[in-house]
A and B are shown apart, each in its own frame.
Chain A
Amino acid sequence: MNDMSPRPRSIKDWESDQEVRWCPGCGDYAILKAVQRTMVDLGSDPATTVFVSGIGCSSRFPYYMASYGFHTIHGRAPAIATGIKLANPELDIWLVTGDGDGMSIGGNHTMHLLRRNLNCQIMLFNNEIYGLTKGQYSPTSRVGTPSPSTPLGSVDQPALPCAFALGSGARFIARGFDVSKELPAVLEAAHAHQGAAFVEIFQNCIVYNKDRFEDFAVAKGAEARQLWLRQGKPMLFDKGTRGIALDMAKLALKVVEVYDGDWQAAGVLVHDVANRSVAHMLVEMPFGAFPMALGVIYDDPRPTYETQTLTQDEAARAGKSPDLARLLAGRRTWTPPRTKERPADL
Chain B
Amino acid sequence: MSESGIERNTIAPNSSPILSVPEAVVVRFAGDSGDGMQLTGSQFTLSTALTGNDLATFPDFPAEIRAPQGTLFGVSAFQINFGSIEVTTAGDAPDVLVAMNPAALKTNVQALKPGGLIIADAGEFSRRNLDKAKYTTNPLEDGSLAKWTLLAFDISALTLEAVKSFSLGNKEALRCKNMWTLGLALWMFERDRQPLIDWLNGKFQKNPLLAHANIAALNAGHAYGETAEIGGQVRKLNLDPAPSAPGLYRTVNGAEAVSLGLVAGAQLAGLKMFFGGYPITPASAILHHLANLKEYGVTTFQAEDEIAAICSAIGASYAGQLGVTSSSGPGIALKGEAMGLAVMTELPLVIVNSQRGGPSTGLPTKTEQSDLYQAVYGRNGDAPLPVIAARSPTDAFACAIEACRIATRFMTPVILLTDGYIANAAEPWRIPDPADFEPFPVDFLTEANGEDDRVLPYKRDGQGVRPWITPGTAGLMHRIGGIEKAPDTGDLDYSPAVHQLQTDARKAKIDGVAHAIPAQDIDLGQEGGRLAVVGWGSTYGPIHQAVRRARAAGLDVSHIHVRHIWPLPANLGALLKGYEAVLVPEMNTGQFKTLLRDQYLVEAQSLTKISGQPFAIAEIEAAIASVFDGKRDDTGGTDVTADATQPSSIEAIHP
- Where the two chains meet, the residues of A that have a C-beta atom closer than 8 Å to any C-beta of B are 1-2, 4-5, 16, 18, 46-48, 50, 52, 55, 62-63, 65-73, 76, 78-88, 90-91, 108-109, 111-112, 309-310, 313, 316-317, 320-322, 324-325, 327-330, 332-340, 342-343, 346
Are B471 and A329 within 8 A (Cβ)?
Answer: no
Q: Shortest distance in angstroms between A258's beta carbon and chain B's nearest beta carbon? A: 46
Q: Shortest distance in angstroms between B300's beta carbon and chain A's nearest beta carbon? A: 9
Q: Shortest distance in angstroms between B344's beta carbon and chain A's nearest beta carbon? A: 9
Q: Shortest distance in angstroms between B407's beta carbon and chain A's nearest beta carbon? A: 15
Are A333 and B250 within 8 A (Cβ)?
Answer: yes
Nearest B residue to A305 via CB reads: B301
Are B295 and A320 within 8 A (Cβ)?
Answer: yes
Q: Which of B97-105, B208-216, B241-249 contacts A (4 or more CB under 8 A)?
A: B241-249
Interface string of B430-453 (1 = CB under 8 A from A): 011110000000000000000000
Known A70-B479, A73-B337, A79-B315; judge A112-B304 contact (CB<8 A).
yes
Known A70-B318, A333-B250, A342-B192; judge A83-B323 contact (CB<8 A).
yes
Chain B residues whose CB sits within 8 angstroms of the CB of A73 once the complex forms: 311, 337-338, 340-341, 482
Q: Shortest distance in angstroms between A344's beta carbon and chain B's nearest beta carbon? A: 12
* Bound Cα distance from A342 to B321, whole angstroms: 45
Chain B residues whose CB sits within 8 angstroms of the CB of A336 once the complex forms: 52, 241-242, 244, 246-247, 249
Chain A CB within 8 A of B240 CB: yes
Q: Which of A71, A83, A108 contacts B315 (CB 8 A)?
A: A83
Chain B residues whose CB sits within 8 angstroms of the CB of A78 once the complex forms: 308
Chain A residues whose CB sits within 8 angstroms of the CB of B319 once the complex forms: 83-84, 87-88, 91
Q: Shortest distance in angstroms between B239's beta carbon and chain A's nearest beta carbon? A: 9
Are B434 and A313 within 8 A (Cβ)?
Answer: no
* Bound Cα distance from A28 to B241, whole angstroms: 74
Nearest A residue to B345 via CB reads: A70
* Bound Cα distance from A73 to B480, whole angstroms: 12
Chain A CB within 8 A of B274 CB: yes
Closest 7 CB pairs of A and B: A83-B315, A71-B481, A2-B474, A79-B311, A83-B312, A87-B319, A79-B308
* Bound Cα distance from A50 to B480, whole angstroms: 11
* Bound Cα distance from A262 to B226, whole angstroms: 98
Nearest B residue to A16 via CB reads: B479
Can you list 19 A-B contacts with CB-CB less than 8 angstroms, sorted by A residue number? A5-B475, A63-B492, A68-B479, A72-B311, A78-B308, A79-B307, A82-B308, A82-B315, A83-B314, A83-B319, A84-B319, A87-B319, A88-B472, A109-B304, A316-B294, A324-B267, A324-B296, A324-B434, A328-B431
Chain A CB within 8 A of B51 CB: yes
Are B471 and A337 within 8 A (Cβ)?
Answer: no
* Bound Cα distance from A332 to B238, whole angstroms: 22
Interface string of B285-306 (1 = CB under 8 A from A): 0000000011111010101110
Chain B residues whose CB sits within 8 angstroms of the CB of A52 once the complex forms: 315
Chain A CB within 8 A of B8 CB: no
Interface string of B34-51 (1 = CB under 8 A from A): 000000000000100111
Chain A residues whose CB sits within 8 angstroms of the CB of B313 once the complex forms: 83
Q: Which of A82, A322, A343 contacts B267 (CB 8 A)?
A: A322
* Bound Cα distance from A310 to B298, whole angstroms: 11
Known A108-B305, A334-B49; judge A4-B480 contact (CB<8 A).
no
* Bound Cα distance from A264 to B43, whole angstroms: 75
* Bound Cα distance from A333 to B303, whole angstroms: 35
Chain B residues whose CB sits within 8 angstroms of the CB of A82 once the complex forms: 301, 303, 308, 311-312, 315
Known A2-B473, A63-B492; judge A343-B316 contact (CB<8 A).
no
* Bound Cα distance from A109 to B307, whole angstroms: 9
Interface string of B260-297 (1 = CB under 8 A from A): 10011001000010101000000000000000011111
* Bound Cα distance from A320 to B246, whole angstroms: 30
Nearest B residue to A1 via CB reads: B472
Chain A residues whose CB sits within 8 angstroms of the CB of B311 once the complex forms: 72-73, 76, 79-80, 82-83, 109
* Bound Cα distance from A53 to B305, whole angstroms: 19
Known A69-B479, A71-B482, A87-B272; judge A321-B295 contact (CB<8 A).
yes
Nearest A residue to B272 via CB reads: A87
Chain B residues whose CB sits within 8 angstroms of the CB of A72 once the complex forms: 311, 314, 341, 481-482
Are B307 and A68 within 8 A (Cβ)?
Answer: no
Chain A CB within 8 A of B483 CB: yes
Nearest B residue to A339 via CB reads: B241
Chain A residues whose CB sits within 8 angstroms of the CB of B312 once the complex forms: 79-80, 82-83, 86
Most buried by B among A18, A66, A109: A109
Nearest A residue to B257 via CB reads: A328
Are B479 and A62 within 8 A (Cβ)?
Answer: yes
Known: A16-B479, A87-B318, A336-B244. 5 other contacts (CB 8 A): A47-B473, A84-B319, A90-B472, A334-B248, A340-B51
Are A329 and B431 within 8 A (Cβ)?
Answer: yes
* Bound Cα distance from A108 to B307, whole angstroms: 10
Chain B residues whose CB sits within 8 angstroms of the CB of A108 once the complex forms: 304-305, 308
Q: Shortest distance in angstroms between A331's beta carbon and chain B's nearest beta carbon? A: 8
- Residues of chain B in range 445-484 having any CB-CB distance to chain A below 8 Å: 470-483
Chain B residues whose CB sits within 8 angstroms of the CB of A2 once the complex forms: 472-475
Chain A residues whose CB sits within 8 angstroms of the CB of B477 once the complex forms: 46-47, 66-68
Chain A CB within 8 A of B59 CB: no
* Bound Cα distance from A336 to B52, whole angstroms: 5
Chain A residues whose CB sits within 8 angstroms of the CB of B17 once the complex forms: none
Chain A residues whose CB sits within 8 angstroms of the CB of B295 once the complex forms: 316-317, 320-322
Q: Shortest distance in angstroms between B195's beta carbon and chain A's nearest beta carbon? A: 7
Chain A residues whose CB sits within 8 angstroms of the CB of B492 once the complex forms: 18, 63
Q: Which of A46, A76, A109, A328 contacts B434 (CB 8 A)?
A: A328
* Bound Cα distance from A338 to B260, whole angstroms: 29
Q: Which of B296, B320, B475 contacts A322 (CB 8 A)?
A: B296
Chain A residues whose CB sits within 8 angstroms of the CB of B242 once the complex forms: 336
Chain B residues whose CB sits within 8 angstroms of the CB of A46 once the complex forms: 477
Q: Which of A16, A50, A55, A76 contacts B471 (CB 8 A)?
A: A50
